[in-house]
Amino acid sequence: MQITAQELAVLLGGELIGNGSTVINTVSKIEEGATGSLSFLANPKYEEHLYHTKSSVVLVNKSFKPQQLVSTCLILVDDPYASFTFLLEKFSNPETQLSGHEPMSFIDTEAKLGLNVYVGAFAYISKGVVVGDNTKIFPQVFLGANVRIGSNCIIYPGVKIYHDCILGDNCIIHASTVIGSDGFGFAPLADRSYKKIPQIGNVRIENDVEIGSNCSIDRATMGSTIIKKGVKLDNLIQVAHNVEVGEHTVMAGQAGVAGSTKLGKYSVVGGQVAIAGHLQIADGNQFGGQSGVNANIKDENKKWFGTPVLELRDALRSGAITRRLPELLSRIEAIEKELLMNKKA
């Protein structure tokens, strides 16, 4: 990456304040800036760093008004964070340049790979697999029979995608995630043992989905486990059989969704949230970290917290009362003691 401040401003459709010939060749945090680096200011709590940074160019919001003298170049854009992300994707993603099939990879003769597909060493591509153009399959990836992967996907090392699963375009699957492992289905028998229920469905992942490392997305017992378009899953997430995760939902690490639950679009699920099975969750609901969801939620666009979840305002009130319990206990004990003394008197 080497670009002038003026070229950068044109590329981003922003307004340049400063020397347009300033050259940028790297990126950095605003508090760790150095000559030749590009930074951004999106969170107001980092504004103080703007007045001392050594970064050559900083992206700021068009509405930003500096409170002190700024010595660096500024580029005013609609959304500094989105603009910075765009530049990282454009200039700092070497994975998109990979192509060809490395030695020691296995590609079945009945697999169909599109144009400019990269296959890393020790990857295994089974019979009937279809891979779209420009997709990158890193070393030690396993693609089971009849898997279909769209165009412009990145499948990082060690990912395992079982038979018959489907991925759309522009998906990113991070290392060691497993897609299509058996759902947790066992029938209890009279002798209190369990018999495995065959899991004959698949997983269907739509376009523009990103899944973090070490996640497990279970195949459906019948039909499909569905991750809809635009979903973003953090690391270490469990999505059980026949779950449906709605469009543009985000889930933080260690969250889990039990079988057959339907999670509405635009949901926000915090870390370590547990969602029970066979539930219907309406669109746009947000769940604070470590919450437990054990009932249907019919209302849209509400915030929830606690176990079991309460609406956020009620949960905060409940928490305030809980924090006062030791004080209230002491007051009750004092009253009891006073009553006992009065009785004796």
CATH code at 120? 2.160.10.10
Same domain, 210 and 256: yes
Same domain, 78 and 169: no
Same domain, 155 and 299: yes
Q: pLDDT tens for the chain, 345 residues: list them.
A: 689 999 999 999 999 999 999 999 899 999 999 999 999 999 989 999 999 999 999 999 999 999 999 999 999 999 999 999 888 877 766 666 788 999 999 999 999 999 999 999 999 999 999 999 999 999 999 999 999 999 999 999 999 999 999 999 999 999 999 999 999 999 999 999 999 999 999 999 999 999 999 999 999 999 999 999 999 999 999 999 999 999 999 999 999 999 999 999 999 999 999 999 999 999 999 999 999 999 999 999 999 999 999 999 999 898 888 899 999 899 999 898 888 888 876
- What's the confidence (pLDDT) of residue 92? 65
Same domain, 198 and 105: yes
Same domain, 106 and 39: no
**Could you tell me which residues come within 8 angstroms of residue 322 by beta carbon, excluding any fewer than 6 positions away?**
none
Q: Is residue 345 part of a domain?
A: no
E strand or H helix that includes residue 274: strand 274-275
- What's the confidence (pLDDT) of residue 341? 85
Q: Is residue 330 part of a domain?
A: no
Phi, psi of 330 (to 5 degrees): -60, -40
Same domain, 80 and 120: no
Domain count, the chain: 2
Same domain, 123 and 261: yes
Domain extent, residue 17, equals: 3-92
DSSP state of 182: P
Any bridge partners for residue 167, and if so which?
149, 205
Q: Quick check: is 241 catalytic?
A: yes
Q: Please answer whether residues 92 and 111 qualify as being in contact, where contact means their C-beta atoms are separated by less than 8 angstroms.
A: no
Q: Is residue 322 part of a domain?
A: no
Same domain, 86 and 103: no
E strand or H helix that includes residue 317: helix 312-323
Catalytic residue among 163, 241, 248, 278: 241
- What's the confidence (pLDDT) of residue 199? 97
Round to whole Å and give the CA distance between 344 and 245: 66
Q: Is residue 337 part of a domain?
A: no
Q: Is residue 334 part of a domain?
A: no
- What's the confidence (pLDDT) of residue 98? 82
Same domain, 153 and 259: yes
- What's the confidence (pLDDT) of residue 1? 66
Same domain, 204 and 295: yes
DSSP helix/strand/coil, 5: helix
Q: Enter the pTM of the model.
A: 0.80
